[in-house]
Amino acid sequence: MRRANYTLMAKKIGLLFSGQGAQTVGMGKDLADEFTVAAEMFTSADAILARKLTDVTWRGPIEELTKTSNCQPALFVHGLACLAVLRELAGNFPIEAAAGLSLGEMTAHAAAGTFDFENGLRLVQRRGELLWPPMRMSMSRTLIRLDKLCSRVSGPRLRWQWHWPKNMASAGRQC
């Protein structure tokens, strides 16, 4: 195992996770090839979702990866795999704050311990399914369905917010 050649000083560390639009075919493959902890997260995601998320994440095509039902869980796993590798290299450092853009807020919640990897992945998968195909239903109906889904996850509920027009995201604030 490689380790960074430095010691973390008494500094506050915050994490920022990306949202939909940051996806790229092949993301995380290099991490999984080099770090067992990342490979195990991707393998675990395939098992939890009962499908090969890694295939579309690592091989594409980009049109498939861009679908919210694929890209949202792929970005969630990738973000947490990056964090796992960072912790392997730098040690188990405390996280002072975690934030993200839209979907990244869900990854930030998992990093902060609001819910575990499996529950977070299932929630993100369902969120992606509800938002695809685009504008399948009215946004108010989507909000209601997401709120009901969120209430099934143990831990604090999440508040949803609107991005105008015709787009929404989880805000990550406790209700």
In tens, the pLDDT along 52-95 reads: 999 999 999 999 999 999 999 999 999 999 999 999 998 888 88
Better pLDDT: 6 or 89: 89
Check residue 162 and give its pLDDT. 44
Confirm whether 61 is domain-assigned.
Answer: yes
Confirm whether 155 is domain-assigned.
Answer: no
Does residue 32 have a pLDDT over 90?
yes
CATH code, domain with 31: 3.40.366.10
Does residue 120 have a pLDDT over 50?
yes
Confirm whether 133 is domain-assigned.
Answer: yes
Q: What single DSSP character describes residue 12?
A: -
Confirm whether 85 is domain-assigned.
Answer: yes
- Residue burial 35-57, b: 16+ Cβ < 10 Å; e: rest: beebbebbeebeebbeeebbebb
Confirm whether 126 is domain-assigned.
Answer: yes
**Residue 45: domain span:** 18-140
Confirm whether 65 is domain-assigned.
Answer: yes
Check residue 130 and give its pLDDT. 85
- From 87, 81, 85, select the one nearest 17 (Cα to Cα): 81
- Predicted TM-score of the model (pTM): 0.74
What are 124-151's pLDDT values in tens digits? 999 888 876 654 444 444 444 555 555 5
Confirm whether 103 is domain-assigned.
Answer: yes
110: number of Cβ within 10 Å: 25
Tally of domains in the chain: 1
Confirm whether 145 is domain-assigned.
Answer: no
